[in-house]
Amino acid sequence: MTESLSKTPPAITDSHCHLDFPDFDGELDALMDRAAEAGVTRMVTICTKLRNEPTVRAIAESHAPVFYAAGTHPMSVASEPMASVEGLVALAQHPKFVGIGETGLDYHYTADSAELQKQSLRIHIAAARETGLPLIIHSRDADDDMAAILREEMDKGAFSCVMHCFSSSAELAQAAVDLGFYLSMSGIAAFPKSQELRDIFATAPLERVLVETDAPYLAPPPYRGKRNEPAYTAHTARVGAEVFGVDYAQFAAQTQANFDRLFWKAAQYEAAA
């Protein structure tokens, strides 16, 4: 038996992936096995269009390590029915539904729907506030509006949040941390040319950091350019350990504790299982 198989790797969680995407058709069982070998004991699969929620829910129901969240991705807001607070709250009654989103603002390709995106974001925030579940934010090329809305909404009533696949400015990172939010490290942070992003993460409290794949996208080295999958969370997490100057087991344990704190419903579900 090789060393990699004879030693149990530290447990980590892929806090954001898209297992319903066609990239994984027919492969979920094998994917779960590879994730387990890498120490990835849990994953949150994200529904980006609410009409796909039944499919995403079924994946969570049929695979023990999988939890799920649902919302309307900002790039889809113009082409999908507007979400409602009531609808999101109803979905959140499922025992494996653990987060609201992903939602957010994306002005890179879809700036023309900015006002609709803002409306959708505020609806999702209200649902997160009402359910107590964490908001899952996608933000691209919209730092000023994103920071402003998050601050405004926090003044209306507290909610929790993770800035998923964080790759924005130091200013938005600080705004998120100041609000008590979390930053999630994706494969982007492991790219050789991402030193500036790694430096931003290094200034954040380790107690507010999660790891994710955003699979099937953004595979970290040595798989960059290939399809990403939850097992590769371990590669990003090893880079994260270097960024924070701790050993891998310590980084893994801290991000697990962070996930349990933010995604409290997943932790409660496991404790009761």
Q: From first to last of the 273 residues of the chain, give the pLDDT tens digit.
A: 333 444 899 999 999 999 999 999 999 999 999 999 999 999 999 999 999 999 999 999 999 999 999 999 999 999 999 999 999 999 999 999 999 999 999 999 999 999 999 999 999 999 999 999 999 999 999 999 999 999 999 999 999 999 999 999 999 999 999 999 999 999 999 999 999 999 999 999 999 999 999 999 999 999 999 999 999 999 999 999 999 999 999 999 999 999 999 999 999 999 998
Contact 186, 236 (CB under 8 A): yes
pLDDT of residue 273: 83
Helices (H), 162-230: 170-178, 195-202
Contact 243, 202 (CB under 8 A): yes
Strand duo 66-70 + 12-17: pairing: unpaired
pLDDT of residue 94: 98
**Model pTM?**
0.96
The number of residues making up the chain comes to: 273
Contact 65, 42 (CB under 8 A): yes
**What is the per-residue burial (b if ≥16 Cβ within 10 Å, else e) of 144-179?**
ebbbebbeebbeeeebbbbbbbbbbbeebbebbbeb
Which tokens sit at 245? 């100057």
| Domains of the chain, start order | 10-264 (3.20.20.140)
Which tokens sit at 90? 């109803």
pLDDT of residue 4: 44
pLDDT of residue 7: 82
- Residue 239, amino acid: V
Question: What whole-number distance in Å separates Cα of residue 167 and Cα of residue 186?
Answer: 9
Question: What whole-number distance in Å separates Cα of residue 237 and Cα of residue 243?
Answer: 10
Please name the residues in contact with 30: beta carbons below 8 A apart, sequence gap of 6 or more: none
Question: What whole-number distance in Å separates Cα of residue 269 and Cα of residue 96?
Answer: 7
pLDDT of residue 2: 36
Helices (H), the chain: 3-6, 28-38, 53-62, 85-91, 114-131, 143-156, 170-178, 195-202, 233-244, 248-262, 264-272
pLDDT tens-digit readout, 42-100: 999 999 999 999 999 999 999 999 999 999 999 999 999 999 999 999 999 999 999 99
Helices 195-202 & 170-178 angle (0-180, nearest 10): 20
